[in-house]
């Protein structure tokens, strides 16, 4: 069952190449049959319009608004409500490996690291927990948590203050693993960092596991283009992709009783 979910997650997302190729391929195939040529033209028009809208700041903001958290990043120690740790949930990495040497691309997860380090400085040297296993299934394994740790150290967080949760593959597994890890260290309340679209599901999943998180969402974008802009950009595609994925995942978690 898990491999089926991994396959669907890798191939059915808005930004995945298989999904894009299949969507346009269906339209092209329909156009090459006389009886379905009109349907093919309509299909391609709708697919093009959909991608054109969802890759713009305006379109991505509209699609993300229903699922994104309304919580704002904390701005003071008081807002952390006595939290003694910062926990960052993984958002995916891409590892480039050759000749036994590897480099990790954090992608959109870099914004989570930035927010995690900001909160770390705000709270004056708390424990920082970074979470994420070997989601790429590499040999030898390269975990998300290790990549996040290295990035946090480069941004000034001492290695001695960083704790890795490097076994989980999903948000559900993160919730269960973090419950055991935080209980073992007697950490109660903590600041939770993840993306705005992931935060609602993460908060519900962690609370269902008996944890006490204080939300501090990372930025949705590196830069903030005018919301009315109709020019497509990569970050808008990423935001739309995350919003659709997290909405589907929220419904799935609800159906499984994990929230």
pLDDT in tens, 153-173: 999 999 999 999 999 999 999
What's the CA gap between 157 and 146, in Å, rounded? Answer: 14
Q: Which fold has domain 78-215?
A: Rossmann fold (3.40.50)
Query: In terms of DSSP H, where are the helices of 55-170?
Result: 57-64, 109-123, 144-154
Average pLDDT over residues 13-28: 93
Q: Is the Cβ–Cβ distance between 104 and 141 less than 8 Å?
A: no
For residue 191, give the nearest of 164, 168, 211, 219 by alpha carbon.
Answer: 211
Parallel, antiparallel or unpaired: strands 85-88 and 189-193: parallel
CA–CA distance, 203 with 206 (Å, rounded to integer): 5
Q: Average per-residue pLDDT in the chain?
A: 93
Instruction: Average the pLDDT over 86-111 and give the result.
Output: 94
Are 238 and 55 in contact by the 8 Å Cβ rule? The answer is no
Q: Are 219 and 115 in contact (CB under 8 A)?
A: yes
**Confidence band of 78 (pLDDT split at 50, 70, 90):** very high
Residue 95 has pLDDT above 70, yes or no: yes
Contact 242, 197 (CB under 8 A): yes
Residue 11 — very low, low, confident or very high, per pLDDT cuts 50/70/90? confident
**Residue 104's beta-bridge partner residues?**
95
User: Where in the chain are all domains bearing CATH 3.40.50.620?
Assistant: 78-215
Asked if residue 185 has pLDDT above 60, the reply is: yes
Q: Determine phi and psi for 128, rounding to 5 degrees.
A: -115, 120
pLDDT band at 230 (very low <50, low <70, confident <90, very high): confident
pLDDT score for 2: 58
Q: Is 124 within 8 Å of 156 (Cβ atoms)?
A: no
DSSP classification of residue 86:
E
Give the total residue count for the chain: 259
């Amino acid at each position: 069952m898990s491999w089926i979910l991994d396959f669907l997650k890798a191939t059915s997302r808005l930004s995945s190449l298989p999904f894009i190729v299949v969507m346009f391929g269906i339209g092209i195939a329909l156009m090459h049959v006389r009886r379905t040529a009109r349907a093919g033209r309509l299909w391609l028009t709708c697919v093009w319009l959909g991608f054109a809208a969802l890759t713009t700041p305006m379109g991505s903001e509209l699609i993300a608004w229903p699922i994104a958290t309304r919580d704002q990043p904390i701005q003071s120690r008081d807002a952390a409500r006595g939290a003694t740790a910062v926990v960052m949930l993984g958002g995916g990495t891409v590892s480039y490996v050759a000749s036994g040497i590897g480099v990790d691309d954090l992608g959109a997860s870099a914004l989570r690291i930035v927010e995690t380090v900001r909160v770390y400085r705000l709270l004056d040297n708390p424990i920082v927990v970074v979470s994420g296993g070997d989601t790429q299934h590499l040999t030898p394994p390269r975990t998300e948590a290790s990549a996040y740790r290295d990035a946090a150290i480069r941004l000034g967080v001492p290695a001695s203050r960083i704790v890795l949760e490097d076994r989980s593959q999903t948000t559900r597994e993160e919730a269960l693993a973090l419950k055991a890890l935080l209980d073992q260290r007697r950490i109660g309340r903590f600041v939770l960092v993840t993306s705005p679209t992931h935060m609602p599901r993460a908060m519900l999943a962690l609370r269902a596991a008996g944890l006490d998180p204080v939300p501090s969402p990372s930025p949705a974008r590196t830069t903030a283009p005018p919301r009315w802009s109709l020019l497509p950009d990569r970050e808008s595609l990423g935001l739309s992709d995350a919003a659709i994925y997290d909405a589907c995942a929220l419904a799935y978690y609800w159906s499984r009783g994990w929230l």
